[in-house]
Amino acid sequence: MKLFEYMAKEIFRANGIPVPRGQMFEKPEGVADWVKAVGPVAVKSQILSGGRGKAGGIKFASTPEEGMAKAQELLAMELKGLRVDKILVEEKIVIDQEIYLAITVDGARRKPILIASRAGGMEIEQVPEEQLIKRLIDVSIGLQPYAAREIVRRLGLEGDLAKEAVDVILKLYQIFRTYDAELVEINPLVVSQGRILAADGKMTLDDEASFRFKDVPQVEERTAVEKRAHDLGISYVELDGEIGVMANGAGITMATLDLIQAFGSSPRNFMDAGGGSSTEATAGALKILLSTDPKALLINIFGGITRCDDVARAFVQVKESMGINIPVVIRLVGTNEELGIAILREHGIESFKKIDEAVAKVVALANGEGA
Amino acid sequence: MAVIINDKTKILVQGMTGNQGQFHTGQMLAYGSKIVGGISPGKGGQSVQGVPVYDSVEQAMQAEPADASVIFIPARFVKESALEAMEAGIKTLVIITEHVPLHDALDIMAYAEKKGVQIVGPNTYGLISPGQCKIGIMPNRIFLPGAIGVVARSGTLSYEIVFQLTQAGIGQSSVVGLGGDRVVGLSFIDVLQKFEADPETKGVVLVGEIGGNAEEEAAQYIKSMTKPVVAFLAGKSAPPGKRMGHAGAIIERGKGTFASKVEALTAAGVKVASLPWEVSDLIKAAL
């Protein structure tokens, strides 16, 4: 789960990382008073996407009236396809130097990795590798002050600024661990008139650990359909093609989508429905697929331990009770596959053992051929 | 021969009295795996399928030392179970559970490194040395003993590929599921090294997917291998920024794309099947 900048900064502030004075608004009312109190401000749209500045999502204002106007303007905006419904109004800061600082997980090394650079303020992907300072962290000892001091030395900071930066790095690691973060990023960490401030903040929390941070507000990134699927325990991603897909297992689902593309059509969704064969679960999954109005459905089941005749009976029952009126093609492999296929065919559902035959058929049906 | 597990491997099942634990204990026993004990705190003294249940791994290890343990425990308790097994001296740990928190996985891996434990998973179907031993949840009947090593990130997709090999009469020395999470124990390279060293394994099939750079790193190692490698990759049609079921299957910041993996593997001399059913012909031709 990605957090909005204002949420990340609230966490930073609560954990002792200095941030500019700021307040989140959902309406322009109150912005003028806030500007009166803090002086010139940056008005920042709160969206879960990078490159906000370039897209015009950050404005500056020096008077209360101007602040109000900019707030109105941003709150009426759509940025990168996302409606802006929150803004963060922050004191404008003088920037003497910009630093990049992040902690994330290096999957290949199975360890957290700290990344820092003197080239702050730009997209980290644009920063040449030789300008990145990287350091793997052993979670059993954590990030020790000597390691933070070494990073700060390489960033070229000295004196009190260096001490403050070390403190920020250590606190950022504490936040990374305490909040089960996949990513904590400050870009830029600025040197402003002799002090250090987190001018931006990004946090992505691990959804699997959500039971540990119930007090963090939830940010919904899923579409309505994705959310319904999630609530049913189905892994679902909305795409924009023609054929609705349901399979069991993430890898096989991805491979099924690839095949549909290779055979000349396009998938409407990714749906890993897991291994169950209950009519209830099947009905729930099919309802979601049908709600997206695909031209045809492809169901690819590698039965494994599940019995194919059970799966077939569930589909027949659901199809008959729901009155599905688009072509459905099922591929069934596993225990009792012949029996399962026979049951499906009896009820007018195209079914195959071979995945290539099933995909060819569903693509033809979606294209209005060979029904 | 086979890698990691064989007909002598003694196994514990953590979470044996749960639904999944009971069912798969039965399936593994039916395959011939040597399960010597189960662990369910508070249920010591019971038995499942004739296998004694203990309150702790330590107690089980005193009764009969085991080489491996497999975890069927709800995600939020996996870390504790894994640490318990490792402290008690288990050297091969298979974590079937999915949805294990990322930071728990980090803690588990750090301790494993210290204790010299090899971890398979989390979020894996397990591993099997056909005809000898199965630790995991895969269907028993799709495997055939033989000379091809299979290593994969995803479950049902590797069933698909393995079943196809079996139907073509191509047996497997061992099949290892690495797991679909961002942080898992054994990597492609770890398993490829084992296959390279295993005299019975004549060739390897690698089943990968988008996200991360494990396939690219594997490609670097494959350059030094003497045995042929064939690969199949899933996720060619996946859009960037979307997590395709597995936590690790996501193209982030332009990294982990299908094209980059195909390119790296091809450059290392790997034949990459563009369709899943091409794998058996490709590996046959490569032997």
The angle that helices A5-14 and A159-178 make with each other, rounded to 10 degrees, is 110
Name the burial class of residue A346, with classes exposed (0-12), middle (13-18) and buried (19+) by CB atoms within 10 angstroms of its CB. exposed
Nearest CA to CA, how far is B107 from chain A (Å)?
6
Give the closest of B156, B158, B185 to A248, CB-based. Answer: B156
Are residues B237 and B146 part of one domain? Answer: yes
Cα(B184)–Cα(B47) distance, integer angstroms: 31
Cα(A45)–Cα(A48) distance, integer angstroms: 10
Are residues A63 and A168 part of one domain? Answer: no
A109 touches chain B (CB under 8 A): no
Are residues A59 and A83 part of one domain? Answer: yes
Name the burial class of residue A211, with classes exposed (0-12), middle (13-18) and buried (19+) by CB atoms within 10 angstroms of its CB. exposed
Q: Give the CATH number, domain containing residue A84.
A: 3.30.1490.20
**A142 domain-assigned:** yes
Are residues A334 and A229 part of one domain? Answer: yes
**A6 domain-assigned:** no
Chain B residue with CA closest to A275: the answer is: B156
Residues 264 through 283 of chain A touching chain B, CB cutoff 8 Å:
266-267, 270, 272
Residues of chain A found within 8 Å of residue B235, distances taken between Cβ atoms: 254, 258
B182 touches chain A (CB under 8 A): yes
Are residues B211 and B156 part of one domain? Answer: yes
Average pLDDT for chain B: 94
A325 touches chain B (CB under 8 A): no
Chain B residue with CA closest to A208: the answer is: B101
The predicted-structure confidence for B212-231, as pLDDT tens digits, reads as follows 888 999 999 999 999 999 99
B134 touches chain A (CB under 8 A): no
Are residues B175 and B38 part of one domain? Answer: no
Q: What does the pLDDT read at residue A234?
A: 86
CB contact under 8 A, A355 and B236: no
Are residues A338 and A352 part of one domain? Answer: yes
**A132 domain-assigned:** yes
The answer, yes or no, to whether residue B248 has pLDDT greater than 90, is no
Give the closest of A139, A237, A304 to B107, CB-based. Answer: A139
B286 touches chain A (CB under 8 A): no
Task: Using the CB atoms, write b or e for A122-154: b if 16+ within 10 Å.
Answer: eebeebeeeeebebebebeeebeeebbbebbee
Q: What does the pLDDT read at residue A322?
A: 83
**A9 domain-assigned:** no
**B154 domain-assigned:** yes
Which of B103, B164, B243 to substitute to test the interface with A, most A CBs within 10 Å? B103
Q: What does the pLDDT read at residue A146?
A: 98
Chain B residue with CA closest to A261: the answer is: B237
Q: What does the pLDDT read at residue A287?
A: 87
CB contact under 8 A, B276 and A355: yes
Of all residues in chain B, the percent with pLDDT exceeding 90 is 86
Are residues A235 and A356 part of one domain? Answer: yes
Q: Give the CATH number, domain containing residue B42.
A: 3.40.50.720
Q: How many separate domains does chain A show? A: 3
CB contact under 8 A, B249 and A206: no
**A351 domain-assigned:** yes
SS3 A317: helix
Residue A185 annotated as catalytic: yes
Q: Give the CATH number, domain containing residue B238.
A: 3.40.50.261
Strand partners, A224: none
**B4 domain-assigned:** no
Give the closest of A138, A254, A333 to B249, CB-based. Answer: A254
The predicted-structure confidence for B162-210, as pLDDT tens digits, reads as follows 999 999 999 999 999 999 899 999 999 999 999 999 999 999 999 999 9
Q: What does the pLDDT read at residue A370?
A: 58
**B203 domain-assigned:** yes
Q: Give the CATH number, domain containing residue A176.
A: 3.30.470.20
Give the closest of A110, A257, A356 to B109, CB-based. Answer: A110
Structure tokens at B252: 């982030």
Are residues B99 and B163 part of one domain? Answer: no
Chain B residue with CA closest to A333: the answer is: B160
Are residues B245 and B160 part of one domain? Answer: yes
Are residues B266 and B201 part of one domain? Answer: yes
**B38 domain-assigned:** yes
Chain B residue with CA closest to A141: the answer is: B110
Q: Give the CATH number, domain containing residue A343.
A: 3.40.50.261
- The kind and range of the H/E element at B62 are helix B57-63
Nearest CA to CA, how far is B63 from chain A (Å)?
31
Give the domain extent around A28.
21-91
**A236 domain-assigned:** yes
SS3 A96: coil
Q: Which residues contact A118 (CB under 8 A, 6 or more apart)?
A: A97, A99, A100, A131, A155, A156
SS3 B177: strand
Residues of chain B found within 8 Å of residue A260, distances taken between Cβ atoms: 237
Cis peptide before A40 (omega within 30 of 0): no
Are residues B47 and B143 part of one domain? Answer: no
**B30 domain-assigned:** yes
The last residue of one of the domains, among A212, A233, A254, is A212
Alpha helices for A193-273 (secondary structure H): 224-231, 250-262
Are residues A177 and A262 part of one domain? Answer: no
Asked whether B257 and B217 are in contact (CB, 8 A), the reply is no
Give residue A216's identity as a one-letter amino acid code. V
Are residues B146 and B116 part of one domain? Answer: no
User: Mean pLDDT by 10-residue block, N- to C-terminus, for chain A (371 residues)?
Assistant: 94 97 96 96 90 87 96 90 91 96 94 95 83 96 98 96 98 97 96 96 93 79 82 87 92 94 94 73 85 92 77 84 88 85 89 91 87 48
Task: Please tell me which residue in A6, A100, A173, A236 is annotated as part of the active site.
Answer: A100
B4 touches chain A (CB under 8 A): no
Are residues B109 and B39 part of one domain? Answer: yes
CB contact under 8 A, A180 and B103: yes
Are residues A275 and A154 part of one domain? Answer: no
Q: What does the pLDDT read at residue A307?
A: 77
A334 touches chain B (CB under 8 A): yes
Residues 192 through 251 of chain B touching chain A, CB cutoff 8 Å:
207, 209-210, 212-214, 217, 232, 234-239, 242-249
Q: What does the pLDDT read at residue A264?
A: 94
Chain A residue with CA closest to B237: the answer is: A258
Strand partners, A115: A102, A134
Which of B22, B237, B251 to substitute to test the interface with A, most A CBs within 10 Å? B237
Q: What does the pLDDT read at residue B84?
A: 98
Q: What does the pLDDT read at residue B1?
A: 67
Q: What does the pLDDT read at residue A64?
A: 96
**A29 domain-assigned:** yes
- HSE-CB of A125 using CA atoms within 13 angstroms: 6
Are residues B254 and B160 part of one domain? Answer: yes
Are residues B152 and B87 part of one domain? Answer: no
Are residues A282 and A170 part of one domain? Answer: no
- Chains A, B: CB contacts within 8 A come to 161
Are residues A87 and A39 part of one domain? Answer: yes
**B128 domain-assigned:** no
**B2 domain-assigned:** no
CB contact under 8 A, B114 and A140: yes
Residues 64 through 103 of chain A touching chain B, CB cutoff 8 Å:
none
**B195 domain-assigned:** yes
Query: What DSSP assignment string belongs to A75-94?
Result: HT-EETTEE---EEEEE---
Asked whether A371 and A348 are in contact (CB, 8 A), the reply is no
Give residue A149's identity as a one-letter amino acid code. R
Are residues B167 and B65 part of one domain? Answer: no
Task: Please tell me which residue in A185, A226, A242, A350 is annotated as part of the active site.
Answer: A185
CB contact under 8 A, A302 and B237: no
Taking residues B102-112, report their average pLDDT.
Answer: 98
Residues 154 through 193 of chain A touching chain B, CB cutoff 8 Å:
177, 180, 182
Structure tokens at B23: 């069912």
A27 touches chain B (CB under 8 A): no
Give the domain extent around B43.
10-120
Give the closest of B102, B183, B234 to A254, CB-based. Answer: B234
**A61 domain-assigned:** yes
Of all residues in chain A, the percent with pLDDT exceeding 90 is 63
Q: How many separate domains does chain B show? A: 2
The residue among A181, A175, A251, A236 whose CA lies nearest residue A210 is A181
Chain B residue with CA closest to A205: the answer is: B102
Is the C-alpha dihedral spanning A152, A155, A159, A163 positive or negative?
negative
Cα(B155)–Cα(B124) distance, integer angstroms: 7
